[in-house]
Structure 1
């Protein structure tokens, strides 16, 4: 690594770190000012608040990594341009492609950090962040669907409850149906409610009825109460809305496969979480290209013009990402295309701007 590489890479990483240290505390203070009343009203313990803001820092920081990176590149590259350092570097015989090498190294370092954080660290922080939010900041609001819940456990087993109380771990108007290989009903269990009993690690059915179809005969079994076992977990009746965010790389793949077997209606939202984790490191390279192309040319108006243009591009990028993400989650639009289209469009834009910057 040459002196030039070390010089630019040092500025790249130092400015990025400065952006994190500058904006994340501001975000924490703004969030605290907004939520402190709810925390006091709901008697949130101090240790849980401190853990919440640790998770908040990891969760929000990782989410905004690409934007911080983008602004960092524009900031320090504009300073290089305004000080005529870039002109001096290129005039010494260094090609524009060679000038970009430390930027690629920096983008690779940030992308690797983003990848491992997104796959293994952020999921745990997301769990703590969301649990605190619904426990103290959105107290009384449900973090999941709690009515008319239908689940396909596998190819043969189906369950249904009309409503579910996650705090008490109880479902009402429970139905369990098993079909044979010919897709004919084998037996059906119904109960007024189903409750998970932690002490005994069993399910307790109240007003239990079972219709067992044996050929042309039907056997009816009824009991006032029955303790039994099922292959599903009570929480699987209706997972929390943010469940995919709380799973690491391997857990998420297993979870999506299980939800696909069940025929989950919101499977696209889980797939979007997976693809976004892979796309975020790619965004580091795309925004690096755009950032350098925008700010490496000395302009009338200086850094302010570059920052204004860069912020505008960043907001357009976020807008397209949100629009296509919403399309994938709420319609039949492909989640893969929803991730590829914005990144491909801005990748092409970055290459176009880079070619102009070279000239």
Structure 2
């Protein structure tokens, strides 16, 4: 490796790793904010929380890596231009294309690693993170009873109006429905006050109720007496209920039984799934067409009803060829068939819509693995020449420009993928649309930078209008008039 290539690569790598770590840290913090509801109040130790963040972090790479390459390219080449290092290179006969050659090889290498990462690491992390999230969701809350809602705890549904005390152990206006093994809740307990007594290392939660009533519905053997809905009522000064919480703690966080999402699959598995779903969808569509044809009653029309004349006239109504009774029967049958077909069609329409969305999601996930690696290369050829043109390094203007470009790239991709899920546009186009839009921009900026031109030459845009105004006599050339 030549000294120049080593110098450019070293400068790029220093900025690359710094930006990548900072951006990853920011997006991990955003992840914590998004999933704080799933992590808070679950009595989770630090190891489980760190494991959750470790499993979720690889899914951030398709978002962080392209932005890192774009921002690093602008900052690095902007610093070279700002410090007149490009001027020194050009005076020595080294063009911008030659200066970018070593980094181009490195970016291609990064894109290959990104492809391997998207095809192997991200699916494995998705598998781990989703299973861990499902297992965490089954854990008991740190506070077993929440205010204002019925809490399903063991064999009881408990609702409290307000909690107080240092540990929220004192309850106000308690309502408890006790569930029966056969279903229903014939026992209702109401109390003005209550107190939770328990410990973190115990599976039993004691609920001490004070000043309340106990209602129990009675089911008489006589069916007629049941309509009166008799019940027994008793009053108590203090009543203790022991609630078994063992099932809430008996959760295996290492359980990995959930494996049915597109984010967990590799390219070969996605291809197989898409093929399987497509065959199943086409088969169900064929069965649906046959079912709708049979529902129409057309195959049985000539069997059940005979026309009076087999020669049909053009302007004569179809029912006129049948007897009055048969015509009425045909009309009623047709009306019922149409209504039934419409109801069946509405139901099947929603079912097929769900199937299409599922297939589209798998196709989007397939193309995203390829798009990530190509996006890394395209955004490099957007950022590097743009940095050379704007001639600004550091953390100021390059960050603003990079964020604006990346937000444009990212939001176009999001809107396109959302449209592709419901079939508005093909998944292939939706996944590659943002990259295709950035590709001409990269070619344009590379051309402008390698030919020592600015970002825009406004004379090129103004000149056609100036000529038009000259022909119309609205513009005069001052040089000729003098």
TM-score of the superposed pair, with normalisation by structure 2? 0.50
1:72 aligns with 2:164: no
**1:293-338 deviation digits (Å, cap 9, x = unpaired):** 2101354798622331221111001111111111111124211112
- Equivalent pair of 1:62/1:122 in contact (CA under 8 Å): no
Q: Which residue in 2 is equivalent to 1:31?
A: 31
Q: Which residue in 2 is equivalent to 1:283?
A: 375
Q: Report the alpha carbon displacement of residue 339 of structure 1 after superposing the two structures with TM.
A: 2.5
Q: Distance in 1 between matches of 2:393 and 2:24?
A: 28
- Equivalent pair of 1:289/1:351 in contact (CA under 8 Å): yes
Q: Distance in 2 between matches of 1:329 and 1:36?
A: 28
- Equivalent pair of 2:74/2:387 in contact (CA under 8 Å): yes
Q: Which residue in 2 is equivalent to 1:172?
A: none
- Equivalent pair of 1:294/1:310 in contact (CA under 8 Å): no
Aligned pair in 2 of structure 1 residues 54, 352: CA closer, same or farther (>3 Å)?
same
Aligned with 1:249 (options 267, 279, 285):
267
Residue range with higher mean Cα deviation, 1-10 or 127-136: 127-136
Q: Distance in 2 between matches of 1:41 and 1:122?
A: 28
Aligned pair in 2 of structure 1 residues 99, 344: CA closer, same or farther (>3 Å)?
same
Q: Which has the higher strand share?
A: 1
RMSD of equivalent CA atoms: 2.7
**1:37-65 deviation digits (Å, cap 9, x = unpaired):** 64232333543322211112222134321
Structure 1 residues 5-16: aligned runs within 5 Å? 5-16=5-16
- Equivalent pair of 2:107/2:376 in contact (CA under 8 Å): yes
Q: Which residue in 1 is equivalent to 2:360?
A: 268
Q: Distance in 2 between matches of 1:40 and 1:335?
A: 37
Secondary structure at 2:425's aligned position in 1? coil
Q: Distance in 2 between matches of 1:70 and 1:34?
A: 26
Q: Which residue in 1 is equivalent to 2:90?
A: 90
Q: Which residue in 1 is equivalent to 2:2?
A: 2
1:344 aligns with 2:424: no
- Structure 1: which 5+ runs fail to align? 141-237
- Equivalent pair of 1:59/1:122 in contact (CA under 8 Å): yes
Q: Report the alpha carbon displacement of residue 347 of structure 1 after superposing the two structures with TM.
A: 0.3
**1:63-118 deviation digits (Å, cap 9, x = unpaired):** 32111111111122222121111111122101222122022112112101101100
Which one has a bigger Cα radius of gyration?
A: 2
Q: Report the alpha carbon displacement of residue 21 of structure 1 after superposing the two structures with TM.
A: 2.0
- Equivalent pair of 1:120/1:249 in contact (CA under 8 Å): no
Q: Which residue in 2 is equivalent to 1:115?
A: 115
Aligned pair in 2 of structure 1 residues 117, 61: CA closer, same or farther (>3 Å)?
same
Q: Report the alpha carbon displacement of residue 291 of structure 1 after superposing the two structures with TM.
A: 0.2
Q: Report the alpha carbon displacement of residue 13 of structure 1 after superposing the two structures with TM.
A: 2.5
Q: Which residue in 2 is equivalent to 1:128?
A: 128
> Matched residue pairs, number?
261
- Structure 2: which 5+ runs fail to align? 141-257, 282-354, 453-482
Q: Distance in 1 between matches of 2:416 and 2:422?
A: 10
Q: Distance in 2 between matches of 1:294 and 1:309?
A: 9
Secondary structure at 1:296's aligned position in 2? helix
Secondary structure at 1:18's aligned position in 2? helix
Q: Distance in 2 between matches of 1:12 and 1:23?
A: 16
Residue range with higher mean Cα deviation, 34-43 or 52-61: 34-43
Q: Distance in 1 between matches of 2:137 and 2:80?
A: 45
- Equivalent pair of 2:82/2:392 in contact (CA under 8 Å): no
**1:191-240 deviation digits (Å, cap 9, x = unpaired):** xxxxxxxxxxxxxxxxxxxxxxxxxxxxxxxxxxxxxxxxxxxxxxx985
Q: Distance in 2 between matches of 1:313 and 1:344?
A: 14
Q: Distance in 2 between matches of 1:340 and 1:79?
A: 31
Q: Which residue in 2 is equivalent to 1:51?
A: 51
Q: Distance in 2 between matches of 1:136 and 1:124?
A: 18
- Equivalent pair of 1:12/1:106 in contact (CA under 8 Å): no
Q: Which residue in 1 is equivalent to 2:41?
A: 41
Q: Distance in 2 between matches of 1:18 and 1:300?
A: 18
Aligned with 2:389 (options 297, 308, 312):
297
